[in-house]
Amino acid sequence: MSNLEVLRTKFAGLELKNPIIIGSCSLTSTPESIQKLEKAGAAAVVLKSLFEEQLMSESGLYGSVEALHPENWDYLKSFGTQIRPLDYIHLIQATKSLVTIPIIASLNCQNRPQWSEFAILLQNAGADALELNIAPWSNQAQAPGWAEQLVLEIVSQVRQDVSLPLIVKLSDNFSSLTWLVEQLTALGVQGVTLFNRFYHPDIDIHELKWSTGKRFSTPHEFGPHLKWYSLLSGRGVDVCATGGVHSAEEVIKALLAGASCVQVVSALYINKYETIINILKDIELVLKERCWESIEDFQGAFRWDRGQNVEVLSRRQYIRYLVGKDF
């Protein structure tokens, strides 16, 4: 485990001893597990998300959630994620008494229930920051921009009612991601996590039924996100990279592109707590080889500035890729 000052960084107003945040998952659902993550070197954790359906069920919003969303509710019960909101408050309080790293609460939203009321409770419980995991989705013919507007409405209300550092986790499916991030920054959002990784459905051709797609990410998913870290960092909001981070190589690339930190999840399920230890050790080796004395020495070195013609640069790379000597 590393304690070196060279790995320190900041994200959304939080002081981090290194750039490794553990993303929302079952490993962040108990105080004991989070304590193990801290001992392995994690700089912060995002608690396992509290889902919109769970808050709706507790408050009685829109009638019976079991009746309105039976499949969602069955899923939550089957996988043990039907934690009661009051239990979530106790999770924050118990965890804060055991660890010193920042604890980031997480709300998984899709619609417009009264998030602010519960966000205030999370703040009072001692959460160090709040991540809103907003995933608008509709199979109806919606007007252009409806998803962006929904995100801004939810964030605006929560921002008015809580003073916690606010982080928004987004997908890459919005029509104008740069515009959306700039609007979120104007609302007072301090950090964005890019990108939300959805579990896409699959079809079991033997059982002839819908099934769950791949659970874990791979490093191959990381590459397409780099351009967005580069484009969206340095715009007044901190960027946290997630999706396909399995080694120090992905962490270094994300930092070079301008991200402040990364979230790791899938790699932990594959290689357990050793993942954190090995990533930190390898980052230190890279810094030593490059004679970098801190993350600040290279963070954002590959950021695309607003003054650059990004369209021309992207087009040039595309053409070079297609007409390269290997094709």
Domain range summary for the chain, segments of one domain joined by +? 5-48+83-322
Between CA 180 and CA 154 the distance in angstroms is 13
Q: Are 120 and 127 in contact (CB under 8 A)?
A: no
**pTM (2 d.p.):** 0.86
Per-residue tens of pLDDT for the chain, all 327 residues: 455 689 999 999 999 999 999 999 999 999 999 999 999 999 999 999 887 666 666 554 444 444 434 344 344 444 344 567 789 999 999 999 999 999 999 998 766 556 678 889 999 999 999 999 987 766 667 777 888 999 999 999 999 999 999 999 999 889 889 999 999 999 999 999 999 887 778 899 999 998 877 778 899 999 989 999 999 998 899 999 999 999 999 999 999 999 999 999 999 999 999 999 999 999 999 999 999 999 999 999 999 875 555 555 666 565 666 666 554
Distance separating alpha carbons of residues 327 and 320, to the nearest angstrom: 10
In CATH terms, the fold of domain 5-48+83-322 is TIM Barrel (3.20.20)
Burial class (CB in 10 A: 0-12, 13-18, 19+), 149: middle
Residues 6+ away with beta carbon under 8 Å from 74: none
Beta strand extents in the chain (DSSP E only): 9-11, 14-16, 20-22, 44-46, 50-51, 103-109, 129-134, 166-170, 191-194, 201-204, 209-212, 238-242, 261-264
pLDDT of 86 = 84
Count other Cβ atoms within 10 Å, centred on residue 242. 27
Predicted local confidence at residue 156, as pLDDT: 93
Between CA 160 and CA 238 the distance in angstroms is 20
Give the span between the Cα atoms of 244 and 218, in whole angstroms: 5
**Of 240, 136, 265, nearest to 190 (Cα)?**
240
pLDDT tens digits for 46-87? 999 887 666 666 554 444 444 434 344 344 444 344 567 789
Give the gyration radius of the chain's Cα atoms: 20
Q: Cβ–Cβ contacts within 10 Å for residue 74, how many?
A: 11
